[in-house]
Chains A and B, each alone.
Chain A
Amino acid sequence: MSSQVDRKWVWIGGIVLAVGLLILPFLFKNYRVFQFNLVLVYAVAILGLNILTGFNGQFSLGHGAFYAFGAYTAAILMTNFGVPYWATLPVAFVFCFVFGFLVGFPALRLAGHFLALATFALALAVPQLLKYKKIEGLTGGVQGIVLSKPEPPFSFTLFDQPLSADRWLYFFTLFVTALMFLFAWNLLRGRVGRALVAIRDHPIAATAMGINLPVFKSLTFGTSAGFTGLAGALGAIVVAFVSPDSFTVTLSIFLLVGVVVGGLASIPGAIFGGIFIQYVPNIADEISKSAPAAIYGVLLIGLMYLMPTGVMGGLQRLWAKLRARPAA
């Protein structure tokens, strides 16, 4: 009985959420919608890193590099080859998958913090490599590439608000994000997900059970890079500009912060991670112009103190407490 009631509520909740998400952009100004788009983009990027770090236990301080790689793939395809914006996303995924696989393969010999350092080097190198003279014709050098925002293919109004370029991009981003989350869900809930967690928790036992460690680890690295690269491409389309200075090492670190804040090995946690890295710097900036970074640090420490297992872990604990109360 009770499980049936639960299922009904899940359905109702799901529908309310879906409708809410669909009308959301019409309730806010374009600028807010633009921020929502960035939250979704960061959520996909964090999801990618979470597959690697949360589920597989491999640390990467270099996912900003894959994000940049994806962003530049989209920008170059759009400006130099006239590829439509939506078609750049699968290309970015494949490119970054291959790139990530190639990085992940030698990185197998590096465990834990050594891997973190190797990927950190990648993140440091990328902004400089993007300025490299020989490829300036493609990358635009220090100046970067200015893109045009995709126009909505049709027009309509809701609550007196037209379907602007930003709102159209919101639906596009939302669709892609939902697709990527579904993909990750399918991948991680089944055999593959269990294998990844087994490798994380006990690699020797995992090998003994017949999991091919090198292949799985490299594929995970590739998939993770593919997710983050696709997010980068999406981010380039949303922001309509790429330049080396957009992808400094700070981005890589912020992505890792997003993973930990949202909750390691939690798929929905990535959304909270995206919200955190999008909005908390703005809050810090509003509190103090003198030391926004210090305020950011305090907020981060405060959150980790309140919810040591990330937002998702905190919510689960809260939920467990609420459910336990009526019984007791």
Chain B
Amino acid sequence: MTLKPLNLALAAITSLALAGSALAQKKYDPGANDKEIVIGAIHPYSGPASAYGAIGKAIGAYFEKVNAEGGINGRKIKFIPLDDGYNPAKTVEQARKLVEQEEALIVFNPLGTPPNTAIHKYMNDKKVPQLFVATGATKWGDPKNFPWTMGWQPNYQSEAKVFAAHILETKPNAKIAVLYQNDDYGKDYLKGFEDGLGDKAKSMIVSKLTYEVTDPTVDSQMVSLKSSGADTFFNITTPKFAAQAIKKAAEIGWKPTHYLNSVSASVGSVMTPAGPENGIGIYTASYIKDPTDPQFQKGKDWDDYVAWFKQYNSSGNINDVNATYGYTVAQGLVQVLKQAGDNLTRENVMKQAASLDMTLPRLLPGVNVKTAADDFFPIEREQLAKFDGKTWVLFGKVYGR
């Protein structure tokens, strides 16, 4: 009993001391100090995927704007963009350079599934955030096994769930045929689709066929899918095969309700070669404001975007949706760093990245960025769009969590 007051006093002093230190003390990991935050990034500026280099440039240009306006909590961003040419062996080298040589606080938005796979283990061994990776594979949202890696855009599974939800709403008795590429990407979509349909998946999906990337065409698959009697078609193909599938369906007179994965939602490389008239009525999904879509070329967010483009990203192409992507993902990171305040440890960066709930100006209305300690999928909502023979027209509500 006599000890009790002492205990209380001790507890009070300890808690005061702890609270005091938490308020006063700034905490830093390598790559952060009172003046700057070092952000490393890896994008393909050379090689076969160099078109995506526009993302890295847009990110850098956005950080320039942030720095010009005073930085984040008084700190400037020091951005170190590196080129991996989409070669996983090079990605390993560049990630090691960023972590060991440049001592970056995080490695931001590395692009592509193979490059990210190559550094997945390394980043988690080193406990350095591999934040907002630019790929749609579902494996990036696995906080239990890989707590230092987080995705960004809607993953293949959540997109497939959007299509499944739309089918259940509009055509609950649909007989569905699925064509998918026989690799991780195709299987990822299929899994999400089956999960989305739930118990009805078995009865609704009447035919599932695959093709290989090395196949010359998917013509024979399309003929068998038609003969299965399906009235709905989920098309999980990359651009070349998507165009073939759309064209072949028209040739053999098969007119199912056609869902096309967003991987191939390109007018130029899919719909035009397939014959735009053959693609009328096809559905796809989207989450970002296309800079070429007139309905998104107005309002304050567009003016801000154009002003930023003119002042900081003038070497880019304003029609390039990749720049919009870079602009948006950079805004996401800025929010994470703002939330982190003066506690700029890698652990806290991941913690803040896992407690986001916001919207960003160039995401579609209703699409948000939301994460939690067990939810490492920032963007999961998408809106459906229908092809009108010229362009994709958004319609209906926003789907997803």
Contact = CB atoms under 8 A, between A and B. Distances in A.
A291 B53 CA distance: 10
Interface string A102-127: 00000000000000000000000000
Contacts of A296: 46
B183 A144 contact: no
**What's the dominant secondary structure at chain A's contact region?**
helix
Given A146-B121, A241-B117, A292-B83, A31 B96 contact: yes
A241 B88 contact: yes
B291 to A, nearest CB: 20
A172 interface: no
A35 interface: yes
A186 interface: no
Q: Looking at chain B's contact residues, is the secondary structure mostly helix, strand, loop, or mixed?
A: helix
A248 interface: yes
A293 B83 CA distance: 11
A37 to B, nearest CB: 10
Interface residues of A, number: 34
Contact of A31 (B53, B57, B97, B118): B97
Contacts of A293: 46, 50
A142 B214 contact: no
A250 interface: yes
B216 interface: no
A281 B96 contact: no
Contacts of A248: 47-48, 87
Contact of B87 (A141, A142, A245): A245
Contacts of A241: 88-89, 92, 117-118
A230 interface: no
B63 to A, nearest CB: 14
A30 interface: yes
Contacts of B122: 240
B185 to A, nearest CB: 8
Contacts of A321: none
Nearest to A290: B315
A144 B88 contact: yes
Nearest to B92: A239
B101 A239 contact: no
A144 B92 CA distance: 14
B85 A34 contact: no
Task: Select the residue from B118, B184, B212 with max chain A CB neighbours within 10 A.
Answer: B118
B88 A243 contact: yes
B160 to A, nearest CB: 19
Interface in A270-294: 281, 284-285, 289-290, 292-293
A29 B103 CA distance: 12
A235 B92 CA distance: 12
Interface residues on B, range: 35 or more
Contact of B184 (A142, A239, A240, A281): A142
Contacts of A142: 113-114, 183-185
Contacts of B100: 29-31
A141 B184 contact: yes
A38 interface: yes
A143 B92 CA distance: 15
B47 A250 contact: yes
A131 B214 contact: yes
B93 interface: yes
A289 B53 contact: yes
A281 B56 contact: no
A185 interface: no
A8 interface: no
A243 B92 CA distance: 12
B45 interface: yes
A128 interface: yes
A281 B46 contact: yes
A133 B82 contact: no
* Residue with the greatest number of chain B CB neighbours at <10 A, chosen from A31, A128, A250: A31
Contact of B81 (A30, A141, A289): A289
10 contacts: A31-B100, A128-B213, A133-B182, A146-B120, A235-B89, A245-B114, A246-B87, A285-B45, A289-B53, A289-B81
Given A31-B99, A243-B118, 4 more contacts: A144-B118, A240-B92, A241-B117, A245-B86
Interface of B: 45-48, 50, 53, 56-57, 60, 81-83, 85-90, 92-93, 96-97, 99-101, 112-115, 117-118, 120-122, 182-185, 212-214, 315
Q: Lowest 10 A-B CB distances belong to which pairs?
A: A31-B100, A285-B83, A241-B118, A245-B114, A31-B96, A246-B89, A292-B46, A243-B114, A239-B89, A293-B46
